[in-house]
A = this chain, B = another copy of it.
Amino acid sequence: MTERSGESALARSFKALSDPTRLRLLSLVAAHEGGEATVVDLTEPLDLTQPTVSHHLKILVEAGLLTREKRSVWSYYALVPGALGTLGRYLQDADAAWAPSKTRTRRR
């Protein structure tokens, strides 16, 4: 059961990364002054409307990839430190663990 719920959490993170706009959003947030950005900072470089950008930001927050902090009237988004690295390590570990062994026999 733990393995299954781990896979669900992983799948949700990968789902958040499964859209080119959201990959761009992560890099734009990271590159913004102070490593944080508001929705207004992100609409122009993406040429998208505020509701669309807000929708994508929400998915990234729910997947644990961005934090959202409200200060005065604005919400500031920032990367969750290490979140992408954790996902990256999972894939690299899987790649190493799942690599075909040369000693295995191949069915014909």
Minimum CB–CB distance from A92 to chain B (whole Å) comes to 4
What class of interface size applies to chain A in its complex with B?
Answer: 35 or more
Inter-chain contact A36/B91, CB cutoff 8 Å: no
Q: Please state if A7 and B36 are interface contacts (CB–CB under 8 Å).
A: no
Asked if B18 and A14 make an inter-chain contact with CB atoms under 8 angstroms apart, the answer reads yes
User: Which of B4, B84, B98 contacts A30 (CB under 8 A)?
Assistant: B98
Main secondary structure of the interface of A (DSSP, over half): helix
Picked from B18, B79, B106, B108, the residue with its CB within 8 Å of the CB of A98 is: B79
Judged by a CB distance under 8 angstroms, whether A55 is at the interface is no
Minimum CB distance partner of A96 in chain B: B85
- The 7 A-B pairs at the shortest CB distance, nearest first, are namely A88-B91, A30-B98, A85-B95, A15-B18, A88-B92, A35-B100, A14-B17
